[in-house]
Chain A
Amino acid sequence: MKKLYSLALTILISTVGFAQFPTTMEIDTTWLPDEVVMPASPLKMQVIFVGGYDMVQTTSTYGNPAGEAVAKQWHDFIGFTPDNSSNDLGWVSVNHEMIVPNDSIGDGGGMTVFKVRWDQATDSLKIVPQTLSDGRSGDFFNVDFVNHTGETGMNCGGIASIVDGRIWTAEEWFRGSNQDIADRDASDFTIGTGTANGISSPAGFPGFNGETISKYQNYNYMVEIDPREAVAVRKQYNWGRQAFEGGVIMADNKTVYLGEDGTPGWFSKFVADTAGVFTSGDLYVYKHDAAGANWVQIDNTDLNKMLNYKDEAVSAGATMFNRIEWVTMDNNTGKVYFTETGRDNPGSRWSGEHAGGAVHAPHHIARATAQGTDADSSDYEDFYGRIMVYDPVTDEVTVFLEAGPAMPDPPTSPYPYRALSNPDGLSVFYNQGNSYLLIQEDLNGTSHGRVPAGVQNRTCEMYMLYLGIQNPTIDDLRRISIVPKGAEITGAIGIDDNIILVNSQHPSTSNPFPFNNSLTYAITGWNGVLSDLERWNPQVESSFNFYPNPTTRELFLIEPMDVAIYGVDGVRVKVLRNVKYVDVSDLTPGTYFVKNSVGETKKLIIR
């Protein structure tokens, strides 16, 4: 009967045509409407490191003495190295995706490392002060690249080994000449030396030491660092010179999968001869249509071939991807996931390599065919990108989740209910033995429904996806919204069941400090939350049109409708149309009134 009643109301509304929400409403204090209480979320956010604000300890660089400097910004990848020998949690490594000259930190980009522990008394993370063996002492440390491996730059993604927490940083943004770097010293670089002439690198690279290359050719590697001592260890010349964005070390501590951010971008594999020793082993590039195993070996003992990896991949007939970003692995299944972020019109960007022998991935051929064109044509579009999966058992790369707006049919909304566009950051978070993908967007644009119509801001969001779901769709993504507005998440990593560390870069909008800076923060309190999350859909046992979920700060509606929210002063503060939820996290805690399109009003208390 109730259903019939609401149907009748619907018909009534459609004749009225428009849900009128007066801009002010009279609040009758004697009248007590139904009350909805929205408790604060059990999740907590804690800022731990602010770029451009916190001080890092630096080594003696370019003849300047060791000391202290304001940390660089543009946080991207975040790595974690557990400390198994003390009660501290471990070391955190943060990438700075930039190129800027700096007298004490070093030219280019860089990394900052620090150590954290969990403080029971305050239920929060604390930074552990350290004294390193080079004598530096403090909270935050600049990773010294200059004196060890030569400068680094545009540090994007990276690798955090799940075996032992070893960390590599990825040097993205392919440099074609010395003009493309911001180094004060652009003279030729000899492998095995730092740039500060006379200071020799402790490790160098076996087999290539003493070889001289142009300075720009010393960029675009995976670079191992030691987060405990805040120094770079070596550039991984034997993995090829590529516009690296991400990679992953497998549980055998021998196999490494690597992705390149380019059109075309290659998916590569390195297999070490000895577990844990990554200076010697074989390198392969993925070729889905190869005879036998889907990998073609590239000679990585020839430095020239390593410097010109792309030529080798093309002549190997490798499979071309459209900008591979982060690579990760689910330790529960051994499957490798990577983001293929997409590029609007890739046609002319890879047609030359196609002609040279490289091949299109099957999903690009299928997509182009469905669009009535071919993958080399300027008509072929790849606006949204996708998440790919590589299964070592079948040796196949396939599409795991195609991104894009989930368009309602028939059209009902000015914006699709969910949209994943240009996925970039990717990692696996484990909670109570279950695996969840953490996915971060980095939008290539605002066109084609990547943001709500009429919006110019690139709003990049973080999503969580339960990997237990078979054949997931966009509908299975859960958006993680972080207070406050606008902070753009670039990287995230779970360090235990309870804590996710998150990096965010400058938001495009104004925000109160420190949220208008690059920052690293922790979201804690996941224990208990995810058991609710696993049910995904909150229990709906209500005759009300809207209700809170016990663990959220959103208002849920049983069916899409128009709602308005008024403050206690009766002034309208929010209007949302045709929605199934309302995010009220930007409203200050207090009392509000929610009105729906049929005039029902409820008191809303936000805690």
Chain B
Amino acid sequence: MKYFFLLIPVSLLLFLNQGGSKPTETIHDYGPEYHSGLNELQTKAEYFHHSVTKGGSQQELIKAFHSCKKAYKRVEFLTDYLDHEFCNRYLNGAPLLKLEKNSPVPTSLEPEGLQRLEELVYENPPNIGEIKKLSGSFVSSTKKFYKVQTNLTIQDRQAFDAMRYGIYRIFTLDLSGFDCPSSDSAVSNALYSFGSIAAMYQEYEDELRQKNEKLFDETTDRFSEAKAYLQSNQDFEEFNRLYFLREFLNPLCNAVLKSRESLGIEKWSEVFAFDRSVSETEGLLFGSEFLNPYFFSKFPEEEDSEIVQALGKELFFDPNLSSNGQRSCASCHNPKLAFSDGKRKSISFDQKSTTPRNSPGLINAIYAEKYFLDLRSEDLESQIENVLFSSKEFAHDWKTLEESLLSKGYDQRFTQAFPQHKERPINKYTVASALTSYLISLQGLDSEFDQYARGETQEIDPEVEKGFNLFMGKAACATCHFPPTFSGLVPPYYYETESEVLGVPSEAAEPFELDKDLGRYDGRLEDRIDFFKHSFKTPTVRNIQHTAPYMHNGVYDSLEQVVDFYNRGGGMGLGLDVPFQTLPGDSLELNSKEINQLIAFMNALEDLSSADTLMEIKGY
């Protein structure tokens, strides 16, 4: 085929002039409550700013700050759902430097909003000048936000969506203390959020009673019990998150979905033509179908098939992908080691040196916004191309690869897998798609822990439970390794992957020296900014017992060493100068028993079922 040729109709949209207008019909118009909540936030923000300007004591500032935060938590499930980007940038984003989106040169944005203010008001002594500047900006942000938001109505489908995402946020972010960096207010924050969600659900009482009275009553009871539990268990470290998940959150997530269904309220896919990361039918956070893998790939589900996947598997193990015919994907991604290779750094193309970094495992790797430890590839197609072009990996190019695969008799297999490409079956797109299809099949979200978290099994080792509660709480692991993938894929919308500056040393033993790898700074040109120096993608901890050694440079051989590194406060805790470390530099104060519990939890995340079936292939 000389060039791709296709005729399909194009549509032209003509907007009509607006005639008369009438409000959208909703069961319940939550607009007035939402707007008064925003108004309350603005009032509290002004009061806080006023306390700062009039020279209030630190105690007064802290008090005024918390009433502001409370007002925000009460509306957050809506504000964040309706305009996540604005909230993340101006109202309640992480207190870290950010990269400006779509800017003509890499530009850093100073943190603003409640999380940054919380750090500042708790500082000793507080920097009043800085607080004043940011409390002033916060007031003006709440005003700008109010102006746009009060122009919009909230539809029932949005209300149910916001409730659902709100519940996920409570579990994954509120209860892990993700957004209260300096105070012990995680559980009360969760309670404020929960209260508003429960109240919104009650607005649908009349209609739900008509449709499914039992569902409504049970859900209402569950909301009350959950609130009561939060009220009587306010201690951050003691809070039993696994119990709370199984008893309250799981049933509520399902109930919100079922309630929407029984009211006949439309699904996302009936409104928008593009998909999103979270399933429309699976309510459980730890459900194996909760995330949609195709959302993370450019390869569409409609084109995937067992034939494509089998071809991808064949290619994955085929050394003809490298120009010397000696290296395959499996050379560094061994299925026996959860698709890692057990080496600090992988053996390179010429088998004489090593690649620059440690080889990550591939099970659940599809669930990421970007690929590589430096996040330089926005999609798997370019990820595969990077490996193909790299002189340390496959040292190949597309044209020669196409010819070589053709000469190995692959054309028939490709034609079968991609009938729409029959004129040129082997091309960059089909090769990348087959490998993507195989990667999508490498899922492992059905571990012993997942089964218990979903409520399918009734018993789990108490050490695992304790370890999970530490992971989500005191040990602060989950503030970067987010459930359910326990990677840097950020809840509750699951479309962004974070990287962190940890200050990993070049060797495990003293004298410590910061590893020279600049990570993300040396990845995409768009990321060439100081605060991305030494920043690396946050990988999953699932199947971690099989993917040693650890960190981007494979510096640690055991999980004990890894946990010890975090327990000491990362590179800063080791006494290194790490200017943009995103991990607090102080100790987590975990004792050895707790460290063992954490490891017991991580070990309970093992699921190699997608790798097991491969053992017989090509001698693995």
> Which residues of A are at the interface with B, using a C-beta cutoff of 8 A?
10, 13-14, 16-23, 40-41, 43-50, 52-55, 68-70, 99, 101, 103, 124, 127, 139, 172-174, 176, 179-180, 182, 243, 261-263, 323, 343-344, 349, 378-379, 381, 407-418, 422, 442-449, 453-457, 459, 475, 477-486, 506-507, 509-514, 516-517, 523, 529, 533, 536-538, 549, 551-554, 556, 558-562, 564, 572-578, 580-581, 583, 585-586, 597
Residue numbers in A under 8 Å from B14 (CB-CB): 478, 533, 536-538, 549, 552, 554, 556, 581
Q: Which of B12, B104, B276, B525 contacts A323 (CB 8 A)?
A: B104
B272, closest chain A residue (CB): A455
Q: A124–B7 contact, CB under 8 A?
A: yes
B620 interface residue per 8 A CB criterion: no
The complex places the Cα of A447 from the Cα of B149 at a distance, in Å, of 11
Residue numbers in B under 8 Å from A459 (CB-CB): 274
Number of contacts between A and B (CB, 8 Å)? 305
B178 interface residue per 8 A CB criterion: no
Residue numbers in A under 8 Å from B294 (CB-CB): 510
Residues of chain B in range 1-16 having any CB-CB distance to chain A below 8 Å: 2-16
Residue numbers in A under 8 Å from B227 (CB-CB): none
- Are A510 and B4 CB-contacts (below 8 A) given A414-B152, A454-B158, A478-B13? no
Interface residues of chain A: helix, strand, loop or mixed (majority):
loop
The complex places the Cα of A263 from the Cα of B100 at a distance, in Å, of 13
Q: A411–B152 contact, CB under 8 A?
A: yes
Q: B17–A512 contact, CB under 8 A?
A: no
Q: Which of A323, A510, A597 contacts B295 (CB 8 A)?
A: A510
In this complex, the member of B7, B16, B153 whose beta carbon has the largest number of chain A beta carbons within 10 angstroms is: B16
Q: B271–A576 contact, CB under 8 A?
A: yes
Given contacts A412-B21, A514-B6, A578-B153, 20 further A-B contacts (CB under 8 A): A17-B26, A45-B10, A47-B5, A48-B5, A50-B4, A53-B4, A172-B104, A173-B525, A262-B104, A263-B104, A414-B153, A414-B158, A415-B152, A422-B102, A478-B15, A481-B13, A483-B8, A506-B298, A552-B12, A577-B155
- Are A46 and B300 CB-contacts (below 8 A) given A417-B15, A485-B274? no
Q: B23–A475 contact, CB under 8 A?
A: no
Q: Which of B15, B84, B428 contacts A52 (CB 8 A)?
A: B428
B19 interface residue per 8 A CB criterion: yes
Residue numbers in B under 8 Å from A55 (CB-CB): 399
Q: A70–B399 contact, CB under 8 A?
A: yes
13 A/B residue pairs, CB under 8 Å, sorted by A: A20-B264, A263-B104, A414-B153, A416-B151, A478-B12, A482-B10, A506-B378, A510-B295, A516-B299, A537-B16, A560-B24, A576-B271, A597-B25
Q: A18–B429 contact, CB under 8 A?
A: no
The complex places the Cα of A509 from the Cα of B399 at a distance, in Å, of 27
Q: Which of B6, B103, B137, B144 contacts A47 (CB 8 A)?
A: B6
The complex places the Cα of A575 from the Cα of B86 at a distance, in Å, of 27
Q: A448–B24 contact, CB under 8 A?
A: no
The complex places the Cα of A543 from the Cα of B10 at a distance, in Å, of 28
- Are A261 and B104 CB-contacts (below 8 A) given A446-B84, A580-B16? yes
The complex places the Cα of A10 from the Cα of B31 at a distance, in Å, of 21
The complex places the Cα of A174 from the Cα of B16 at a distance, in Å, of 42
In this complex, the member of A40, A101, A578 whose beta carbon has the largest number of chain B beta carbons within 10 angstroms is: A578
Q: Which of B20, B27, B140, B378 contacts A18 (CB 8 A)?
A: B27
- Are A580 and B18 CB-contacts (below 8 A) given A53-B4, A447-B85, A481-B13? yes
Q: Per-position contact with A for B77-94: 1 when CB-CB < 8 Å, else 0? A: 000011111100100000
Q: B22–A43 contact, CB under 8 A?
A: no
In this complex, the member of B13, B273, B295 whose beta carbon has the largest number of chain A beta carbons within 10 angstroms is: B13
Q: B266–A529 contact, CB under 8 A?
A: no
In this complex, the member of B154, B300, B303 whose beta carbon has the largest number of chain A beta carbons within 10 angstroms is: B300
Q: Which of A180, A416, A559 contacts B525 (CB 8 A)?
A: A180
Shortest beta-carbon distance, B490 to chain A, in Å? 11
Q: A513–B152 contact, CB under 8 A?
A: no
Q: Per-position contact with A for B506-549: 1 when CB-CB < 8 Å, else 0? A: 00000000000000000001001000000000000000000000
Residue numbers in A under 8 Å from B63 (CB-CB): none
Q: Which of A41, A174, A562 contacts B24 (CB 8 A)?
A: A562
Residue numbers in B under 8 Å from A586 (CB-CB): 273
B498 interface residue per 8 A CB criterion: no
Shortest beta-carbon distance, B30 to chain A, in Å? 12
What interface size band does chain B fall in?
Answer: 35 or more
Q: A43–B12 contact, CB under 8 A?
A: yes
Q: Which of B3, B9, B31, B105 contacts A41 (CB 8 A)?
A: B9
B318 interface residue per 8 A CB criterion: no
The complex places the Cα of A182 from the Cα of B19 at a distance, in Å, of 54
- Are A418 and B15 CB-contacts (below 8 A) given A172-B104, A173-B105, A506-B298? yes
Residue numbers in B under 8 Å from A127 (CB-CB): 2-3
Residue numbers in A under 8 Å from B272 (CB-CB): 455
Q: B104–A243 contact, CB under 8 A?
A: yes
B456 interface residue per 8 A CB criterion: no
- Are A578 and B24 CB-contacts (below 8 A) given A45-B9, A553-B11? yes
Q: B22–A559 contact, CB under 8 A?
A: yes
Q: A124–B11 contact, CB under 8 A?
A: no
Residue numbers in B under 8 Å from A182 (CB-CB): 525
Residue numbers in A under 8 Å from B81 (CB-CB): 453-454
B150 interface residue per 8 A CB criterion: yes
The complex places the Cα of A206 from the Cα of B89 at a distance, in Å, of 49
The complex places the Cα of A516 from the Cα of B296 at a distance, in Å, of 13
B379 interface residue per 8 A CB criterion: yes
Q: Which of A19, A262, A537 contacts B17 (CB 8 A)?
A: A537
Residue numbers in A under 8 Å from B59 (CB-CB): none
Q: B300–A554 contact, CB under 8 A?
A: no
In this complex, the member of A14, A378, A507, A551 whose beta carbon has the largest number of chain B beta carbons within 10 angstroms is: A378
A464, closest chain B residue (CB): B12
Q: Which of B16, B102, B150 contacts A581 (CB 8 A)?
A: B16
Q: Top 3 nearest A-B pairs by Cβ distance?
A: A575-B266, A578-B24, A447-B86
Residue numbers in A under 8 Å from B137 (CB-CB): 378-379
Residue numbers in B under 8 Å from A453 (CB-CB): 81-83, 152, 158
The complex places the Cα of A421 from the Cα of B449 at a distance, in Å, of 46
Q: B155–A414 contact, CB under 8 A?
A: yes
Residue numbers in B under 8 Å from A484 (CB-CB): 8
Q: A124–B301 contact, CB under 8 A?
A: no
The complex places the Cα of A31 from the Cα of B427 at a distance, in Å, of 51
In this complex, the member of A23, A514, A581 whose beta carbon has the largest number of chain B beta carbons within 10 angstroms is: A23
B103, closest chain A residue (CB): A343
Q: B428–A483 contact, CB under 8 A?
A: no
Q: Which of A18, A50, A124 contacts B156 (CB 8 A)?
A: A18
- Are A511 and B18 CB-contacts (below 8 A) given A70-B398, A412-B153, A575-B270? no
Residue numbers in A under 8 Å from B161 (CB-CB): 454
Q: Per-position contact with A for B253-284: 1 when CB-CB < 8 Å, else 0? A: 00000000100101000111111100000000
